[in-house]
Chains A and B, each alone.
Chain A
Amino acid sequence: MSPLLELEGVEARYGPVQALHGISLSVEEGSIVAVLGPNGAGKTTTLRAISGTVRRSGRIVLAGRPLERLGPDRVARLGVAHVPEGRGTFSELTVWENLRLGAYTRRGSLAPELERVFSYFPWLRERRRQEAGTLSGGEQQMLALARAFVQRPRLLLLDEPSLGLAPLLVAELFRIVRELNEQEGLTVLVVEQNAHLALQAAHAGYVLEAGRVSLSGPSAQLRANDAVRRSYLGY
């Protein structure tokens, strides 16, 4: 079986600065894959290349469909939900409207979908009329995740979900991602500074350096790798 997502020789640039120098990676259906690396290695850009929010070249294939020429709204319609760094919730809209936007590309009743989302995030139900901007940072991050889940994506792209969150919330967030993966078969590609957490949740990982893949393999193998341990795990 071919993987759900495959990148081959993907390059991307911001004006004159090249951020990706030929990234190749693959994500199996139903797996969680982590992307690690120092600041500026191109982790965020890799996700942006997939969702189409940066101009890119090379081959990006989702379930047999090439994405590299499509804009972000088309990619979203093909079943990719991208939760950007900094949450990307619509703070001026209500919680309910944010969730509704998650289902923007879908037809029909949302009720069953929302029930499922509320089962993972029960507090969202009481606060659905509240403006998203009035939620705490952690709640907004959860809302972004819930919205992505309403999108019912084939592939979830998560960018630095732990950024600016208290450790307890981060653990909770990863627990939910893991649960969604196990219960719903959600495929996740997650960029994370906290390599320890990411490798705990993920089945496989890629380490980027200066816009290239420097290491890859199953999580257990990466955790055991000396270079990874020194640079990202700190022991």
Chain B
Amino acid sequence: MTALERSSPPPGLPRRGAALGRVVPPVGVLLVAAAAGLLVGSLRSAVFAQLTVQGLALGAVYGSLALALVLVYRATGVINFAQGELAMATTYVAYQLIQWGLTYWQAFFATLAAAFVLGMVLEMALVRPVQHRSTIAAVIVTVGLFVLTDGVVTWIWGGAFKYMPSPFGTAIYHVGGVAIARLYLGMLAVVLVSVLLVWALFQFTKLGLGMRAAALRPAEAALVGVRVDWMLAIGWGLAAVLGAVAGLMAEPSQYVLEPTLMQPILVYAFAAAVLGGLESPAGAVVGGLALGVSLNLIVQYVPEVTSELQLPFAFAVLLAVLLLKPAGLFGRSAARRV
């Protein structure tokens, strides 16, 4: 009978590796060194500088989708394999809205709103009922959702290339002999602003605090009056918004919209999320940027690595992190549930 009374964890045991503390200094040193390296390289070579900016812009897209994965994982313990396909689908929504006569930025914000609702509804309708039985079943549901989304999008819009107007035009800036496309600066700015807004929401608002509490300890959060179910659904909604931003910013860099838009990016996002530590939002973004830049530079400067090897390279990063430092750069512990 004692077991009944003691169904909560014993008080002496900290949950997860709480004692591990903050990010250890070497990671900070590593990042500063990397940033310095990029800066020196950029000052010495215009090509290097261009590749760095382009890599950062692409990396921001990976980071945004990686952050979506991390949010969902932290909120519900589920890896959402459909995150990329949902981002692709919402990009098609934006495409459709533009076809119907909205301007790019009207369509952009309308799409984010639609993505938020879509994310919430999916969590409540598909994931939650299954997750009550098992988390792994919920993960399998997301795999099904991947295929389903792909099918529905192809059914509605067809598989042929679609073209969207460029949000940032084709302007090119020249900074000290370095040509930088406005597109990449725009991508970088939009993604980073979105990420910062989501971070501020989590860090500084009551809703954000409730969401963090619900994700960390659902039972205790309910005891202080947090509506845990709503918080988890909102978490999925926000993840879908970040995914939509990633999709909308990925499209101009690919120049065309097709149903496979986000599939390679999902792999990069997984690698970025694992690199950063699956539970660390900051890690996801830093991981995305690091991956974007290093992929871009490696393809240019290491002749053996051709652009066909970019995806395998991302997988290699993923495997290496899991084998050598499963907690990632910023993580506190290895992945627990999936």
Contacts and interface: CB of A to CB of B under 8 A. Distances in A.
Interface stretch (A83-91, A179-187, A227-235): A83-91
B4 A19 contact: yes
Given A39-B1, A44-B5, A84-B8, A53 B223 contact: yes
A104 B210 contact: yes
B206 A104 contact: yes
A219 interface: no
Interface string B76-105: 000000000000000000000000000000
Interface in B224-247: 224-228
Nearest to A87: B11
A86 B10 contact: yes
A52 B14 CA distance: 25
Nearest to B2: A39
A76 B224 contact: yes
B130 to A, nearest CB: 20
A43 B2 CA distance: 11
A86 B8 contact: yes
A91 B11 contact: no
B8 A91 contact: no
* Residue of A73, A88, A90 most packed against chain B (CB within 10 A): A73
Contacts of B9: 86
Contact of A84 (B18, B212, B213, B220): B220
B223 A51 contact: yes
Given A85-B11, A93-B216, A163-B11, A39 B224 contact: no
Task: Pick the most buried of B9, B11, B213, B227: most chain A CB atoms within 10 A of its CB.
Answer: B11
Nearest to A159: B8
B15 interface: yes
A147 B221 CA distance: 12
Interface in A164-201: 164
A225 interface: no
B298 interface: no
A97 interface: yes
Contacts of B220: 84, 88-90
B162 interface: no
A73 B11 contact: no
Contacts of B224: 76, 81, 101-102, 104-105, 147, 151
Contacts of B2: 39-40
Interface string A44-57: 11000001110000
Contacts of A51: 223
Interface residues of B, number: 33
Nearest to A137: B11
Given A86-B10, A137-B12, A164-B12, A43 B5 contact: yes
Given A40-B2, A90-B213, A97-B209, A105 B225 contact: yes
Interface string B302-331: 000000000000000000000000000000
Contact of B18 (A52, A86, A133, A137): A133
Nearest to B219: A53
B223 A76 contact: yes
A59 interface: no
B209 A101 contact: yes
Given A53-B223, A86-B10, A91 B4 contact: no
A115 interface: no
Contacts of B217: 88, 90
A82 interface: yes
Given A40-B2, A76-B224, A101-B224, A91 B14 contact: yes
A145 B230 CA distance: 26
A164 B4 contact: no
B7 interface: yes
Contact of B222 (A45, A72, A164): A72
Contacts of B210: 101, 104
Contacts of B10: 86
A69 interface: no
Contacts of A82: 223
A110 to B, nearest CB: 11
Nearest to A106: B225
Contacts of A163: 11
Given A93-B213, A137-B12, A73 B228 contact: yes
A131 B332 CA distance: 15
Contacts of B18: 91-92, 131, 133
Contacts of B227: 73
A1 interface: no
Given A90-B216, A133-B18, A104 B225 contact: yes
A164 B6 CA distance: 14
A53 B223 CA distance: 8
A84 B223 contact: yes
B12 to A, nearest CB: 6
Given A45-B4, A104-B225, 12 more contacts: A40-B4, A52-B222, A88-B217, A88-B220, A89-B220, A90-B216, A90-B220, A91-B18, A92-B18, A104-B213, A104-B226, A137-B11
6 contacts: A14-B4, A14-B7, A45-B5, A51-B223, A88-B223, A104-B226
For the complex of A and B, 9 pairs with smallest distance between CB atoms: A40-B1, A76-B225, A105-B225, A72-B222, A86-B11, A133-B18, A88-B220, A73-B222, A44-B5
